[in-house]
Amino acid sequence: MSEVAGKMSIQEGAKYLECPMMGRGILLGGVPGVKPGEVLVLGGGVVGTNAAKVAAGLGARVIIMDIDLDRLRYLDDVMPANVRTVHSNAHTIRRYVQEADLVIGAVLIPGALCPVLIHESDLKLMKPGAVIVDVGIDQGGCVATARPTTHSDPTYIVDGVVHYCVTNMPGAVGRTSTFALTNATLPYALTLANLGYKRAARQDPGIARGVNIQSGRITNRAVAETFGMEYQPLEL
């Protein structure tokens, strides 16, 4: 579902940049003769990659940030020319947040809370009417001022910056999401059905990593740390 959320994040951002939505009144792609908008994507994983592709497709100038240099190299190889990679650290985030019309929070760490990358004080540096879409809101989000919203009331404003933090974003494009989810989960489901969870987890490390609880014990390290509980390895 990360791909759906990543692609949607730009569509939503573009929409809420409109004046009637309290945004800056910017068309992300610009037009011939008028400079396009600036999009900052925090995180170069599946969510961020898909967000950057769509933003580039709309015609925006895009910066995608990550801490993994090999990932930045790969992105540099495959992204369109209007996407640029920048190494992520406190200094670069603070700098580019100020230039951005749209910021996408795309930092998701499986089973753990997102680190906070944009602090409340950063909002005052941002352009009035800029938009933040925090895709990781289900895991706390990477923006200090993010709090969950819904499809029926998706945005709120802090310091003049529009926040879009809808949980379960892919639900809005149910048809596409259903196919995507089925594609991603069907092979696991078949393996589990055919082998039972123990044999399945022995055979496929991906399934093993997916077992969070076993007989009352927390068997996923990130989950255990998040809830301050004891981690115990999976027993097969």
Residue 65, phi then psi, degrees to nearest 5:
-115, 145
Shortest reach from residue 90's CB to a second copy, in Å: 11
CB under 8 A, 24+ apart: contacts of 70-74: 71/44, 71/45, 72/44
DSSP state of 106: -
Restricted to residues 45-84, the positions that interact with a second copy (CB under 8 A) are 46, 49-50, 53-54, 56-59, 61, 63, 67, 69, 72-73, 75-78, 80-82, 84
CB of 125 to a second copy, least distance (A): 18
Separation of alpha carbons 213 and 222, rounded Å: 12
Q: Does 97 bind a second copy (CB under 8 A)?
A: no
CB of 67 closer than 8 Å to CB of 89: yes
| Nearest to 112, CA basis, from 228, 232, 235 | 228
Compute the least distance from the CB of residue 173 to a second copy, in Å.
4
Contacting residues toward a second copy, per CB under 8 A = 3-4, 7-8, 11-12, 14-15, 17-21, 24-36, 46, 49-50, 53-54, 56-59, 61, 63, 67, 69, 72-73, 75-78, 80-82, 84-87, 89, 151-152, 171-177, 179-180, 182-184, 186-187
